[in-house]
Chain A
Amino acid sequence: MSPEFSANAAVPPMVRWWVFVAILTAALFAAPYFMDDAFQLDISIIFVFALLALSMGFLWGYAGILSFGQTIFFGLGGYSYAILALNLGSTNLPFLGALALPAIFAALLGYFMIYGRISDIYLSVITLVVTLIFEKSVRSTSGPEYVIGSVRLNGQNGIPGVPALTLPWLSEPLSISGVYYLAGGAMLFMYVALRMLLTTRLGRVLVGIRENEKRMELLGYDTRLYKLCAFVIAGTVAALSGVLYALWGNFVAPEMFNLNQAAQVVIWVIVGGRSTLIGPMVGAGLVQYLSNWLGTVGVGQVTLVLGLVLMVFVRLFSRGMLPSIGDAIERLRGRHNSNGSPL
């Protein structure tokens, strides 16, 4: 892990970072004037996935928890919104509920794993098992008896016709452009928010725990509480991306819980590198763009490529693509790599 990023995380970002964010924001808001609806749809989904990648990047890169289950909250967020919105008719309460319910589940699951002092590896495996259970459970709800309120869960086919969001101060539901702005805005907002979180006491303690949990305990910190906070925060951000996904496509399906989706999240972070917050987001964008470019391929091929990418990256680029490129550039420059310290 490049110490440059973690070591500087506690310091409020420099002016040039704010300029960078401002430029991104401006570009994001100006872009729809040059894009047709179809293109905006394509970009919106990248925002959604970037947000999901961000949640995992935060949890893994900065809190040090490898969870294969961010998709659980992605799926829960989407399904919660769909079920609540279709039942209640309005969309504001469902939006909030779709964030609250996954957060509660994250708190429960996180509590049992983290306060149970389960070792890191077992924790990762358990998140994988929970993902498997969720996929199987949701997939098996095809029968008409699986109903929540007036909404059938529909098993394999998912829930179509998810209502578009009507923001409280608008009279109309969001259009495609509206979803674009919402997704992009949410992504930027959470990016800035998480970056600022790292400068707060909570964020700095989390990074300390990731560096050396035992030491932090011996300094008097209840590391379990902080890790649980990180797990819930990451789960809520993932849930937000799930809601946005539901708004983007107006449907939710068990694929949101499946292993391919879980693998993609991990791959985004591996490709983008987990030593920065922006890395996983770029990773998500890159992988999505490449997938689109490869065109429609069968599900099997997608899984195959995902697996291949994972194996190759773990074998060859264990620090992620961006940091590895960064290393290579520094070596070319001949500069003494500050990460080359004897850690």
Chain B
Amino acid sequence: MSEQKPILWTKGLERHFGGVRAVAGVDFSLQQGELRCLIGPNGAGKSTFFKMITGQLRPSAGEIHVAGQSIRNAEPHEIAARGVGIKNQVPDVMNGLRVRENLWLAASSKWRGSKAVTAVDRIAERLSLTRILGRLVGELAHGQRQWVEIGMVIVAEPKIVLLDEPTAGMSDEETTLTAELIREINKDMTIVVVEHDMQFIRQIARMVTVFHRGRVLMEDTFDQVVANPTVRDVYLGRAKGG
């Protein structure tokens, strides 16, 4: 990783919902080409953090910059057009349309005409979706739908890919395949993954950021984080304060 400015950074990022501080001051920095994992118990603020990166939520306070530009007041589609893609926990696709159409719509946001079509074929090939291009997405199995969504997210070659629990509901085999896929995508794109499955994280992670009660608890390599007693307490609910 070169010593360049981070592709994503936040400073003092906060988000309140009424009296609840879902994100309570996060300083985060992501270098281009990283594959970062976010872990933390439920309610630690990871999803809210993601939603502020995509623009679905406005920060209550703090700064947030993507590719050198502040996105505090940007609309979600502007941020997406700037190269941020997100794959949500629950498959968020166009169920009534076919796989090819889903992928085409994703590719078309960036390319026109035949370039979009070739991008679709390329991504289908890469993700082994070619066989099911003509199927209705709503009729696919859960794991297949997840991969269609991943295809949609990466076909337009975003700079940053956010994956929110990509292996939720997947079998072990599918999980391993997904880990392989993520490592492969990482060659071209910066990736941030939120996950609970430690085995999965072990397969992909280099640096891990631990969220707790809306803040970053620690940031270190996977092995260090897993060995840390505070992290274990946090997960088991024994930690005090935040």
Q: Give chain A's interface residues, CB within 8 Å of chain B.
A: 1, 3, 6-7, 10, 201, 204-205, 207-208, 211-212, 214-223, 338, 341-343
Give the dominant DSSP class at B's interface: mixed
Most buried by B among A218, A223, A342: A218
CA distance A207 to B104 in the complex (A): 13
Give the dominant DSSP class at A's interface: helix
Choice from A208, A218, A341 contacting B94 with Cβ under 8 Å:
A208
Q: Give chain B's interface residues, CB within 8 Å of chain A.
A: 54, 56, 75-77, 80-81, 85-86, 92-98, 101, 104-106, 108-110, 112, 136, 138-139, 152, 156
13 pairs of residues in contact across A and B, judged by CB atoms under 8 Å: A3-B96, A3-B97, A7-B96, A7-B98, A7-B136, A10-B97, A205-B105, A212-B94, A215-B92, A216-B105, A217-B77, A221-B109, A343-B95
Do A342 and B93 touch across chains, with their CB atoms under 8 A apart?
no
Q: Which residues of B contact A3 (CB under 8 A)?
A: 96-97, 136, 138
Q: Which residues of A contact B101 (CB under 8 A)?
A: 7, 10, 204, 208
Q: Which residues of B contact A338 (CB under 8 A)?
A: 136, 139
Do B108 and A201 touch across chains, with their CB atoms under 8 A apart?
yes
Do B77 and A341 touch across chains, with their CB atoms under 8 A apart?
no
Do B75 and A222 touch across chains, with their CB atoms under 8 A apart?
yes
Q: Which residues of A contact B81 (CB under 8 A)?
A: 220
Residue of A nearest to B86 (CB): A218
Do B97 and A341 touch across chains, with their CB atoms under 8 A apart?
no
Shortest beta-carbon distance, A199 to chain B, in Å? 11
Shortest beta-carbon distance, A198 to chain B, in Å? 12
CA distance A205 to B101 in the complex (A): 10
Residue of B nearest to A5 (CB): B96
Choice from A6, A201, A223 contacting B77 with Cβ under 8 Å:
A223
Do A7 and B97 touch across chains, with their CB atoms under 8 A apart?
yes
Do A218 and B104 touch across chains, with their CB atoms under 8 A apart?
no
Do B108 and A341 touch across chains, with their CB atoms under 8 A apart?
no
- 18 new A-B contacts, CB < 8 A, other than A3-B96, A220-B109, A341-B139, are A6-B96, A10-B97, A10-B104, A201-B108, A201-B112, A205-B105, A205-B108, A208-B101, A211-B95, A212-B93, A212-B94, A214-B92, A215-B93, A217-B75, A218-B56, A218-B77, A219-B109, A341-B136
Do A342 and B77 touch across chains, with their CB atoms under 8 A apart?
no
Do B80 and A218 touch across chains, with their CB atoms under 8 A apart?
yes
CA distance A214 to B149 in the complex (A): 14
